[in-house]
Structure 1
Amino acid sequence: MDNLVKKVKLQWGNPLYSVLGIMIVAFGLQGCEKLYDLPEEQEFLSPNINYPSQIFEPIIGRTSELGAPNTDNSTKPLKFEIVNARYGDGRPVTDIFQLRPTYVWTGEYTGIETSLEEIEAKRKIEERPLFEVQESGKFVLWGASTNELITPRPADSSNLVQDRRYFDLKITNVGGERIIRDFQLIPWRELPYEPNNDINRYTGGVAPDPKDPRNPNKRDYIRPSLTNVIGAESNRNLVTNDDQKDVVVYIRPFEGGNGHNLRFSFWAPDSTAINPAKFNETRWNDLVHGFNRVNTTEYVQYDVAYPIPLTTVATKYTTGGSAKLEFAYSRLGFNNIRTTAYIGLNFKIFREGDWEIIFHFRRELPKFEDE
């Protein structure tokens, strides 16, 4: 065989000999393969395919990708199929496979779209199982899921075997079949927004005060960030923490909108509205990715697409995967020095509808007037 290759190399300068040489080497290699009985390339399905974890604890109502398989060099394509879905006591599981209308992106969201119509043109609604495995082997719980469609873990915080959903995963390719057994799906109930420290994640009710959890007359609140916000009566910096909550936030649905409104309001201690115009340094056009802004003496409102933010793409409206808010106002302080006050909140809203975010000054009004 070595002599054959050498003869071909000697004649390599001649084009005819080059072509003939390549053909001779190819036939020679085939002969060597038969001579030495070398195995043909086989499809491979590794027995060591695995997932970092087989216990998934997603939050209902959010589109969540779960798990990523280590395929251990198995030949692709691989086919993944959920099989034998059952509760811990053997009852079949069917609720997570209900088909529901689900948003699926067909175009790239950039954050510079100029209308709701432009955003909606980049996604469509498809009927999908609430929980499924994708071609990549990742699992997904779709945002169309609700507490009514999928029962969350018990409100009493128990985690009994009979309440857990189990399933197996069948993986196949041309090389064979493998089943990974005993995945678990233990979903949390819906938490339709973040921050959500004001919600008891087991019951969905009001969360207790972290400093006095056994006192039924106290509760936890969402707290904004405050910079240079001075109290009109005390003339001191307002603060919000576990011990003192001068300003708190409520995120809640409201009635009477068009189904995709987002509204911002500011409340005095008696829950009457503060005119948003007092926040005179706020960049209202860049506050959220919203349209058709409406300013009133009680609120500022936008038309928006949900969820907020729409994707994980970083835009001028987001930070660290959350939408960001910054309200600002300026005033002349002592020595005629102008100071600017800021109120901020990073947030997410997962459920479509009409929502309002209220900043409640519980103890005193902020000082808007000059010294």
Structure 2
Amino acid sequence: MKCCQNFWSVILAVLVLASCRKLPEKKDYLSKNANFDKKDVYEPFMGRTALEQTNFNADGSSYPMIFTVENMRRKKDGAAAPELSEKIKVQQWIRDYDGYEKTLEEIEKKRIWSEKNFFEIRSGSGDFIFWNASSDKIRTYPDSGYVFDIKIVNKGNERVIKDFWLRPLKEVPYEPYEYNMYTRERKQETRQTPDGKSYRVPYTIHPGVIQNMYYTKDSLFTDTLVSVYIQKTGIKGHSLTFKFVDQHFNPIDPAKFGQTKWDELVHGFDRQQTTTGVTYQVAYPIPLTSLNTKYAANGKARVSFGYSRKGFGGGRVDANFGLDFAIYEPGDWTIMFFFRRDPLFEND
């Protein structure tokens, strides 16, 4: 009997010891095939904030994962690149912009100034963020730029993916742009004389759409007959002005474009209209975000100007033209439409 008691005492002691001993912690799985849909080269524009979705493929790896940028260096010689880690002041949204804000103050209350690195990676998703930095210190094309690695860590496992290439481009203050994004040389375009002969000239921006606009009773406007000039006229303000001029550069009264929805043209305020232009107070950049609103689509602001006249036979002719654009630098800006033929506003 005593022998049996000793036996069960030993068994109980073994069970107690086993219960107190911690089992080895199971490591998360991190696939050796987990990777990014890596581009040959990342070329963000300086002077604007951009999100680059990297389309990370976890290949069944365990979440959560943390992504960090490692070993940032200059591509040309492998030297350290401390400029990529320097803090810059940027505007950051703290509340969602929706396009229904009624004042500039309402917009500005939704964003704050904060300090960021020019280049960051979202720790949970691996997406890249390029903040609105100046090219004063960051190396830009034609410099070869930078190379960096990305470290992926989950519970107990880690992996480093090497040699991402970052080659920033200098600021482009607005779009569309008359210059080559890389060389900054003026583009060229082909135009035709009235008798059909072609000739080459420096490129200018043209409206994206022109419908039912005539310059004589039977002559329609084509895109090359309207040029658009986007110009910064001041650095301290926050205004946007639209102007229209005829073939002799005389002002066209905006009131002639009577079907234009001026109060819904841009997300601007305190509209001032004269016989020479229409001015709004606006927040920059334009558009403020990539969100589609009644003022913007696909990352560009969208404006449309229209008027109506009586055509041949008494039929109504609705004419319009428009432009998709973006402006990235704050200040006072003017967008001027130059008509190389005088538009026909009068009835036939």
TM-score by length of 2: 0.84
Counterpart code for 1:227: Q
1:249 correspondence with 2:236: no
Offset of 1:118 from its aligned partner?
0.9
Cross-structure match for 1:184: 165
Q: Mark the CA change 1:87 to 1:40 in structure 2 (over 3 Å): closer, same or farther.
A: closer
Conserved? CA contact 2:291–2:297, under 8 Å: no
- Map of 1:143-158 to 2, 5 A cutoff? 144-154=132-142
Cross-structure match for 1:203: 183
Counterpart code for 1:101: K
Tell me the distance in 1 between the aligned counterparts of 2:320 and 2:141: 39
Match of 1:171, SS? strand
Cross-structure match for 2:83: 95
Cross-structure match for 2:26: 41
Counterpart code for 1:251: I
1:140 correspondence with 2:129: yes
Cross-structure match for 1:61: 47
Tell me the distance in 1 between the aligned counterparts of 2:241 and 2:296: 18
Cross-structure match for 2:57: 70
Tell me the distance in 1 between the aligned counterparts of 2:264 and 2:311: 27
Conserved? CA contact 2:46–2:171, under 8 Å: yes
1:349 correspondence with 2:346: no
Tell which deviates more after alignment, 329-338 or 133-142. 329-338
Tell which deviates more after alignment, 275-284 or 263-272. 263-272
Tell me the distance in 2 between the aligned counterparts of 1:322 and 1:164: 28
Q: Mark the CA change 1:277 to 1:166 in structure 2 (over 3 Å): closer, same or farther.
A: same
Counterpart code for 2:227: V
- Map of 1:298-309 to 2, 5 A cutoff? 298-309=276-287
Tell me the distance in 1 between the aligned counterparts of 2:186 and 2:276: 26
Counterpart code for 1:139: F
Offset of 1:188 from its aligned partner?
2.2
Conserved? CA contact 2:305–2:321, under 8 Å: yes
Cross-structure match for 1:27: none
Q: Mark the CA change 1:97 to 1:210 in structure 2 (over 3 Å): closer, same or farther.
A: farther
1:230 correspondence with 2:217: no
Cross-structure match for 2:151: 170
Conserved? CA contact 2:191–2:200, under 8 Å: no
Tell me the distance in 2 between the aligned counterparts of 1:117 and 1:328: 31
Cross-structure match for 1:365: 342
Conserved? CA contact 2:83–2:138, under 8 Å: yes
Match of 2:303, SS? strand
Cross-structure match for 2:4: none
Conserved? CA contact 1:324–1:347, under 8 Å: yes
Q: Give the unaligned 5+ runs of structure 1.
A: 1-29
Match of 1:254, SS? strand
Tell me the distance in 1 between the aligned counterparts of 2:55 and 2:328: 24
Counterpart code for 1:127: E
Match of 1:291, SS? strand
Deviations 1:298-325 (A, max 9, x none): 1101111122111222211123332111
Indicate the RMSD between aligned Cα atoms, in angstroms. 2.7
Conserved? CA contact 2:190–2:200, under 8 Å: no
Deviations 1:1-20 (A, max 9, x none): xxxxxxxxxxxxxxxxxxxx
Match of 1:285, SS? helix
Cross-structure match for 2:102: 114
Tell me the distance in 2 between the aligned counterparts of 1:325 and 1:361: 17
Offset of 1:268 from its aligned partner?
1.4
Offset of 1:42 from its aligned partner?
2.5
Tell me the distance in 2 between the aligned counterparts of 1:302 and 1:106: 25
Conserved? CA contact 2:308–2:316, under 8 Å: yes
Q: How many pairs are equivalent?
A: 321
Cross-structure match for 1:14: none
Q: Mark the CA change 1:95 to 1:270 in structure 2 (over 3 Å): closer, same or farther.
A: farther
Match of 1:231, SS? strand
Cross-structure match for 2:296: 318
Tell me the distance in 1 between the aligned counterparts of 2:185 and 2:250: 25
Cross-structure match for 1:286: 264
Q: Mark the CA change 1:149 to 1:40 in structure 2 (over 3 Å): closer, same or farther.
A: closer
Deviations 1:50-75 (A, max 9, x none): 11015312222222222232233333
Conserved? CA contact 1:45–1:175, under 8 Å: no
Counterpart code for 1:345: L
Tell me the distance in 1 between the aligned counterparts of 2:82 and 2:230: 33
Deviations 1:140-184 (A, max 9, x none): 111x22332323211xxxx7xxx2311111222331322111110
Match of 1:56, SS? coil
- Which is strand-richer, 1 or 2? 2
Offset of 1:211 from its aligned partner?
7.9
Tell me the distance in 2 between the aligned counterparts of 1:99 and 1:278: 49
Percent identity of paired positions between Structure 1 and Structure 2: 39
Q: Give the unaligned 5+ runs of structure 2.
A: 1-14, 193-198
